[in-house]
Structure 1
Amino acid sequence: MDWERDAGKLADQVTDPDSRWLAPVARVPRHELIPRWWDVDDSGGWVLRVGADDPEAWLRAAYADRSLITRVGPSHADHAEPGDRPEGLPTSSATLPGLVVRMLRHGRLGPGLSLLDLGTGAGGLTAYASHRIGAENVTSLDVDPYLTGVAGERLARMGLHPEFVTADATERVPGSYERIVSTVGLPAGPGLRPVLAALETGGRIATTLGRTCLIVTGWKHADGDVVGVVERDTAGFMLTRAGDDYPPALDELFDLAEDAEGDERGTGRYPVVDVANAWELRSMLEVVAPGVELGYAVSGRVRTARLVHPDGSWARASAEWTDPPEVHQGGPRRLWTTLERIRNRLNTEGSLPLLGAKVRITPDGVCHLSRGKWHASIGDR
């Protein structure tokens, strides 16, 4: 299979001609890391793709700058049978190479520096880093023993032998590292403590914060604080998980938000928006109301958004196309009102104070953000 040509084209696409990541991307046979994957069919359901069944399509998929979903809920594509139709959210993937390279750049790797790759997935970042700084300096960690095991086998066939560790990074991270790059969204607060503890003094971390698009980078100081910035760059990664799947969604609240009258009914100021795909809005909503889950549906010209929170709050906004929505809200807080305040600030000031903000992460995992007169903390509640 003539994969070298395709890998070279991919490297040209996602790196610069003088980039130190050009050769690693060009040298990794990415298709060998993704022999099977889940795709979305015309009905919106998951369907299995098997590379060996269509080698040309396999190469096109593997060497495109796109993410390939390898696990849905507890169902890994490697173990699936033709006709299987899993339900649920993606729980592992082969991250698009362009984003992998960006995260590696944010990590500022160098020869001889020890790296922890958080979130093995299909093993692409581990492979690129092993080529760049030497596999002996790379450790890859994932909560799923199958992922660490099979990635180790596949990289070994490429002549790469980094260390693989199976652990829940929100509970423990064995070892200590001069660089940590995470391709899962780490939770601010207690779940971040083990990762911070594994970062050596003077070391650097690059990660996103769970349920946000915010890429946070920083250096660890002698007092244990990590000091840095929210990069002027964005990424969306899956949340960390502790088991085979994510905890059940707040289905009862979503059902309530489907058609309940609520404690408050009114007309919204702004059109209905798919918050999950409006990354800055989603990120700021997580800052001011951590833990909100989102739903969005389109029926003809009618768009409906639902927001629910573990404290029992919920909101539903529905309207035809860009008309002002009819809004219903219930519970202890008004989630749509909170979202509209954020949108009002965005419209008034032209931006939100997130990208470029200063960051200080204390050893307890709390992330303190500041930009000008604006201050906020994530993980302290």
Structure 2
Amino acid sequence: MEWTPAGWDTHAARMADATVRSESRWHRPLATVPRHLFVPRWWAPAEQDGTWVYELRDGADDPDAWMSSAYDKSLSVITRVGPHHADHAAPAAVVPEAWPTSSATLPALVVKMYQHAFLTDTSRLMVTCGSGYSTALACRRLGEARVTSVDVDPYLIQAAWDRLTTAGHRPQLEVCDVTGELPGVYDRIVSTVSVPAVPASWLTALAPGGRMVTALSGTGLLIVADKTADGGATGKVAPEPAAFMTTRHGDDYPPTPDNADLWATARKADGESVTTGRFPVMRVRRTWDVRSTLELTVPGIEHCMETAADGTRTAYMLHPDGSWARATAPGARQAPTVHQGGPRRLWDELDRIRTWLVIDGDLPISGAAVRVDPDGACHFSRSGWSATISAR
């Protein structure tokens, strides 16, 4: 059994009190599951010489930091970056910034997703595994016999099994690609990884009237949908934004396309269009409604923002079709000069969405109805607006 610090249950109880009301059925799981057990080592983002990296943290070396990180209701603890799992890293290891590939999802969001799933005492649940913490919460709430947890990574499944058994739980754990065939039939599917579109296999694996809760890649959208008689599902966009690591099919995400030439163009070129933007430069990736609406309108845009020492802000947008935009303003509140090139005017699309937000006070993606076809295509609609994410 791994070493555990005394008094962890006090931290867990405080986290439970801060997350849900005492009469909630999730209070006891939050207060009694030893989350630190699932994250004995983790990766913490840090800046070194102007570059972002991930530094290894070991709970045994700093129990206070361990308890602080493990029992923060609003913190996802990153356990794997690219192919590098913290369990296997050398002491004081540092890895370059890369996409995280596994974590213990922040407890407040895990519980909110379970609440959206509307679990009953007899629900058969499939949940994604990762560190195993969310699986442990489900076991404490439903009993291990009703919980199946899956992950594409054999090591994550083995590590989760070891830690779950230490915590007193033995659910069904399976190595599988969550976008492919699933190992059973379930009343609820809760995914703490995002998917490009709803996998058709989920609809096959959902029992009649079953419910799914998942996030969609590239957006901040959390959808809740119930299976319908035609084999599809209907539901809504949840009011809470959610962004998760996207599904992967191997040891790491595939290399990103080399777009160095397009970046060079975006940084230097005048482009075919030079205008003054309607609104100040914004960090699109930190929004959820604007980012999600833009992703539904023009899927696949890559965003970057730089702030110079004098306060000048420059935002870049790149699209795989060769479109690009650069917006530069002398400060946070000034209108930018916008250069655009390629087949689309990306900044114009962003300004159109922001104008919509200013006029209406919200965007139609907020609270939109969702219809999922049996093949996994997702259709969104609200107040005459509609958008579709095609089946993959």
Q: TM-score, normalised by structure 1?
A: 0.95
**Mapped contact 1:250–1:308 kept (Cα < 8 A):** no
| The one of 52, 57, 73 aligned to 1:49 | 57
1:94-136 Cα offsets, whole Å, 9 max, x none, are: 1111111101101111112110103x11111100000100111
1:99 equivalent in alignment to 2:109: yes
**Mapped contact 1:233–1:355 kept (Cα < 8 A):** no
**Mapped contact 2:53–2:94 kept (Cα < 8 A):** no
1:162-189 Cα offsets, whole Å, 9 max, x none, are: 111122222332222110011111112x
1:340 equivalent in alignment to 2:351: yes
CA distance in 1, matches of 2:258, 2:280: 25
1:18 equivalent in alignment to 2:29: no
Cα pair distance change 1:251/1:72, threshold 3 Å: same
CA distance in 1, matches of 2:251, 2:270: 36
1:265 equivalent in alignment to 2:274: yes
1:294-318 Cα offsets, whole Å, 9 max, x none, are: 2122222111222222222222212
CA distance in 1, matches of 2:180, 2:270: 41
* Structure 2 match to 1:58: 66
* Structure 1 match to 2:166: 157
Secondary structure of the residue aligned to 1:234 is coil
User: Unpaired runs of 5+ in structure 2?
Assistant: 1-5
**Mapped contact 1:69–1:90 kept (Cα < 8 A):** yes
> Please, which moves more after superposition, 310-319 or 267-276?
310-319
Question: Where do residues 239-318 of structure 1 align in structure 2 (5 Å cutoff)?
Answer: 239-252=246-259, 253-300=262-309, 301-318=311-328
1:245 Cα deviation after fit: 2.1
> Please, which moves more after superposition, 51-60 or 259-268?
259-268
Same amino acid, percent of matched pairs:
49
CA distance in 1, matches of 2:323, 2:152: 31
Matched AA of 1:310: P
* Structure 1 match to 2:215: 208
* Structure 2 match to 1:352: 363
> Please, which moves more after superposition, 260-269 or 25-34?
260-269
CA distance in 2, matches of 1:238, 1:290: 17
CA distance in 2, matches of 1:280, 1:9: 32
CA distance in 1, matches of 2:187, 2:42: 33
Cα pair distance change 1:39/1:162, threshold 3 Å: same
1:276 Cα deviation after fit: 0.5
1:280-307 Cα offsets, whole Å, 9 max, x none, are: 1111011111122221222221112222
1:380 Cα deviation after fit: 5.8
**Mapped contact 2:104–2:134 kept (Cα < 8 A):** no
Matched AA of 1:309: H
CA distance in 1, matches of 2:251, 2:81: 10
* Structure 1 match to 2:227: 220
Q: TM-score, normalised by structure 2?
A: 0.93
1:134-183 Cα offsets, whole Å, 9 max, x none, are: 11111111121111110111001111011111222223322221100111
Matched AA of 2:279: Y
> Please, which moves more after superposition, 49-58 or 236-245?
236-245
Q: CA RMSD in A?
A: 1.6
User: Unpaired runs of 5+ in structure 1?
Assistant: none
* Structure 2 match to 1:114: 124
1:228 Cα deviation after fit: 0.7
CA distance in 1, matches of 2:202, 2:70: 31
1:241 Cα deviation after fit: 1.6
1:91 Cα deviation after fit: 1.5
Matched AA of 1:13: A
Secondary structure of the residue aligned to 2:247 is coil
Matched AA of 1:336: W
Structure 1 consecutive aligned stretches of length 4 or more whose deviation exceeds 6 Å = none
